[in-house]
Chains A and B, each alone.
Chain A
Amino acid sequence: MTNKKQLKLGAFFMLPGHHAVAWRHPEAKPENVLNFDFIKEQALTAEKGKFDMIFLADGVAAGATSLAFGQEYSARFEPFTLLSSLAAVTKNIGLVGTVSTTFTEPYNLARQFASLDHLSKGRAGWNVVTSAGKEAAGNFGQDELLHAKRYERANEYVDVVKKLWDSWEDDAILFDKEEAQFLDPSKVHFINHTGNWISVTGPLNIPRPVQGHPVVVQAGSSESGKELAACSAEVIFTAWQTLEEAREFYRDVKGRMAKYGRRPEELKIMPGVFPIIGKTEEEAKEKYQQLIDLIPESIGVARLSFQLGVNLSKYPVDGPLPDLPELNEINGNKSRFQLVKDLADRENLTIRQLYQRTAGGRGHREIIGTPVQIVDQLQEWFENEAADGFNIMPPVFPSGLDDFVEHVIPELQKRGLFRTEYEGTTLRENLGLTSPVNQFGKVTLQ
């Protein structure tokens, strides 16, 4: 029973909920998006459910240029701040934050994650993203960087951050009061990195993180994203609609790992899932319909316009999509663009039908049903090499998370698919990931 392979779960926190207009739902608490006590309760619920981690998305823009600004919620906590405060009130759950490589110095980012990993005793994770979009660039007085260049820089950036984390060997600190030896300087290393984009001497001013490195998460599914993930990611959050697509992606990415000297189990693939849970299937469907009915046309069209890079407000909402740009013209999220376009083509959807379908999961898989039906579907993907786990996206907080923890997790546990106690105290231990070898420590020093 305990030897059976178990799936990993992330609790994707997005307040007031993942659905486009979750904030209008009667059960939503939009007035609490900046209320720490409320968010703390959500974290404690997730920890009670034995989730591997809390996951925070991020974007360095308020969405003020969105067509529907004012009708959407537009307030959230900066992720480092929130994760650090949650570290103080939780014990076991992982704390994964999205931070863009585009507008932060690698030294600062390495330091922030190292600090979080120490204070949380080894529970930090970094979701590496690059920033697209004019609004984000405008906040930093920069021009938008092209997709390919962003990834090239991100590759080097991750490399530098890991070097900084490794600049202290695990046993560098001695605390020897008698001999006045606080540390062994031969175990602290300059990294002296000079690359195409970045140059940093190091060392970091913080001893090696508890986990060696905080867990490195990656979210993009574009060609360059897959390569970056195979090379350096330990968790991938991704979006797939069908078992077939998910399996293809799983095989593809895991197959690229060998050339980087990595084994398949060193990377956990966790697609996003948007669950709508009912006591009966009918109840779940009613809940889903209720959410859809809340979406004003203006928001639905604005969201879809953003995802597809086309202003759709000029077209009849009950008509088909206009001609879309080619994939190579998209500088934002390429894989999400493809996914939404494929969905429209496959099911021949109108603009309205399409925004209704993508408003909740934003392109992630939606599962609507009873706890047993939901677990059936998760199990199918898990046992057919489509996923090592899932990133759960409750439509509305707190009710969506409460329902998942009270009804779905026990069903997963009953089938032996999910833990009943945390395996360890660090995020790596719970995910079953080993600590990375220190690249400088391997070298025998004179």
Chain B
Amino acid sequence: MAKKQMKLGAFINLPGQHVASWRYEGTESDRFLELDYLVELAKIAERGKFDTIFFADVFGTPIAENSPSGIKLDPLIIIAALAAVTKKIGLTATLTTTYNEPFQVARRFAAIDHLSGGRAAWNVVTSNNNFESLLFGKEKHLAHAERYERAEEFLEVVKKLWFSIDRDALVIDKEKGQFLRSEKVNPVNHAGKWFKVQGTLDAPSTPQGHPVIVQAGSSEAGKELAAKSAEVIFTAWQTLEDAQKFYRDVKGRLAKYGRKNEDLKIMPGVFITVAKTEEEAISKRKQLNGYILPETGLAYLTAFLGIDVRGYDPNDPIPQENAEIEDKTNPQIRASIVRGIAERENLKTLRELYEHIAGARGHREIVGTPEQIADQLEEWFLNDGADGFNIMPPTFPEGFKDIVELVIPELQRRGLFRTEYEGNTLRENLGLAVPQNPNTRQSQNV
């Protein structure tokens, strides 16, 4: 039982992960704004012993009549509500550093970590589309390099705020009239290029030391930021070879920041369609593609390729690459992943391509029996391609239940996944150390 086990995230994206899954009869599309429904899904995930549930975030997506993808509740509001009615599962929410203030972000995540008894995680992202910037009175979004520079400083300030009152600062001595020890308060005095913050958070350090830091970008700047400060990476790879290359690359950068391999968990996304037989799984997967209208598929592909293919005939060939690709930013990386898929899978037309990526959105896709799926996850896990996976169910609640009922038991049977939670905090379950308050360390040296 001392065998190394994989970590699993449940990526909840409502009404469904697949672009047209909202039309599937089993999808409870009309409940996607209801708390009761979110609670049901969180409890399914907790029954499956997932390390965490994960909520992405996006805004500014153009509103289209045949797609729910422009709608998203605030992920922190969701995980705060779920914290109240779950016990063990981690609660990961995405929040951009581009249109928020460090003090607010530090405060909100600290609150969730206190509230949940140490189960909060923040997926740190930057915002990269012009629809988003217009919502904040900006003509254009920040350039890639500036976004990452800002994100790095943002995270630095947030961490300082999380440590601004030591966990043992609250003495609460009613007799003496002392609530906290001032010497355990470390006011932040930060003046950088992007932020100037002088202050103290209004809560002590959280049960996890601080919430788990998740990062999702795979660009050069993203990898460096991850090596410096991320504890989990959600990423997208199609082949074991590419995943291994990324894994080696990022883990190899850890040492220069004084970090060890196990301080960072790399968890690629995997879109899983499972059934008792392979035929059944394939037919389930095909059924979802049958719901995609050509205009939905083409609009979807436009977002991935960075080329406007709306109005094309779906049977047209995939257009050639846009020559003027600047730096390797995430949209471009996504485009090259999608082109790689087309080449590897020998997809010729626009329709073939959008049908292929309609579910996984550039992430790895596995269709098959529980054994076949476990085989593939095991292969990556045992060969330094992944420390775990962020699981993307094709439909909710049905496709998600299938994974919990069919795939999880198979992983458990092989000893690859837990049968009981190891601890009560997300860090304990992920096997991540509690970060030390740098202020405390200093005073111990004196």
Contacts and interface: CB of A to CB of B under 8 A. Distances in A.
Interface of A: 21, 23-24, 26, 28, 30-31, 34, 36, 40, 59-64, 69-78, 80-82, 84-89, 103-105, 107-108, 111-112, 114-116, 118-121, 135, 138-141, 175, 177, 180-185, 188, 198-203, 205-207, 296, 299
A201 B133 CA distance: 9
Interface string B83-116: 1110000000000000111011001101110111
Contacts of A141: 195-198
B432 interface: no
B304 interface: no
24 contacts: A23-B174, A62-B164, A70-B179, A70-B180, A75-B165, A75-B203, A77-B115, A80-B76, A80-B80, A81-B115, A82-B115, A85-B81, A105-B99, A107-B99, A107-B136, A115-B73, A119-B33, A139-B198, A175-B29, A180-B293, A182-B67, A198-B137, A200-B134, A200-B137
Given A87-B35, A88-B35, A138-B199, A177 B22 contact: yes
A75 B71 contact: no
Given A23-B172, A87-B35, A202-B135, 4 more contacts: A88-B39, A114-B74, A182-B22, A201-B134
Nearest 7 Cβ contacts at the A-B interface? A141-B196, A84-B80, A81-B111, A139-B199, A62-B202, A115-B77, A85-B84
Given A75-B203, A141-B196, A206 B115 contact: no
Interface of B: 20, 22-25, 29-30, 33-35, 38-39, 58-61, 63-68, 70-74, 76-78, 80-85, 99-101, 103-104, 107-108, 110-112, 114-116, 134-137, 164-165, 170, 172, 174, 177-182, 185, 187, 195-204, 291, 293, 296
Contacts of A76: 202-203
Nearest to A205: B59
Contacts of A78: 107-108, 110-111
Nearest to B131: A201
A64 B187 contact: yes
Contact of B197 (A40, A62, A140, A205): A140
Contacts, number: 219
Contact of A81 (B68, B80, B103, B195): B80
A436 B177 CA distance: 49
A140 B101 contact: yes
A36 B83 contact: yes
A141 B55 CA distance: 30
Contact of B100 (A81, A108, A118, A188): A108
A182 B65 contact: yes
A132 to B, nearest CB: 15
Contacts of A34: 114-115, 203-204
Which of the listed residues B110, B137, B195, B198 has the most CB atoms from chain A within 10 Å of its own CB? B137
Contacts of A82: 80, 111, 115
A82 B108 CA distance: 10
